[in-house]
A and B are shown apart, each in its own frame.
Chain A
């Protein structure tokens, strides 16, 4: 079946612009996670959704970052007033509610802030 999909695959933006990154989880997966992979920080957790609510937002690096999930499916990560240090690969993962130890990752969105 279809895996986790993310769009766009690549995004180049200018400093100060807002960007939206989209994640489509595997059908039926109620848990959804966002991570970031950057050269300086490695792989780091950003936010976790169970259904449409986000019990853990502890990894969001600043108030410029926000995320939402609607209908228990698609999620959007928004970065406002982008900065060069936001350049990274943003990864989305999903899992079944009863199997949170098995997270399936999407291919990522590579964000470059000029």
Chain B
């Protein structure tokens, strides 16, 4: 079945450091891929998405590229801020419109 695997956290970085959170998927075909973010005490928010191979999703300085060769959708940001501290979830949309999530990666950015 379809599944998403993402790196274990927590990831602890200093402000202005470079961020990468790895995400790989297993799926039939080429599903849409997503990154969701959950800030402390808040609900899930869509951060970015990519709907086909080689698409790059971007938002708020975050980027992720849909790589079908490596079945990956790694999240990157060039310079993190304290306000980026949150839990990040990688997900795919399967053929019956349900989101399948990875286990989440907690990011802690220190000043």
Q: How far is the CB of A45 from chain B (nearest CB, A)?
A: 4
Q: How many residues of B contact A (CB 8 A)?
A: 22
Q: How many residues of A contact B (CB 8 A)?
A: 23
Task: Tell whether A42 pairs with B104 under 8 Å between CB atoms, given A91-B44, A105-B44, A107-B42.
Answer: yes
Stretch at the interface among A10-18, A61-69, A74-82, A95-103: A95-103
Chain A neighbourhood of B51, CB < 8 A: 101
Task: Return the contact of B99 from the options A45, A58, A108 (Cβ within 8 A).
Answer: A45
Chain A residue with minimal CB distance to B101? A43
Chain A neighbourhood of B36, CB < 8 A: 105
Q: Does A56 contact B (CB under 8 A)?
A: yes
Contact residues of A with B, CB < 8 Å? 31, 33, 35, 42-45, 48, 55-56, 58-59, 91, 93, 100-108
Task: Tell whether A106 pairs with B43 under 8 Å between CB atoms, given A45-B98, A101-B49.
Answer: yes
1/0 per position for B4-47, CB-CB distance to A under 8 A? 00000000000000000000000000001010100000111110
Q: Does B89 contact A (CB under 8 A)?
A: yes
Q: How far is the CB of B28 from chain A (nearest CB, A)?
A: 16
Chain B residue with minimal CB distance to A42? B103
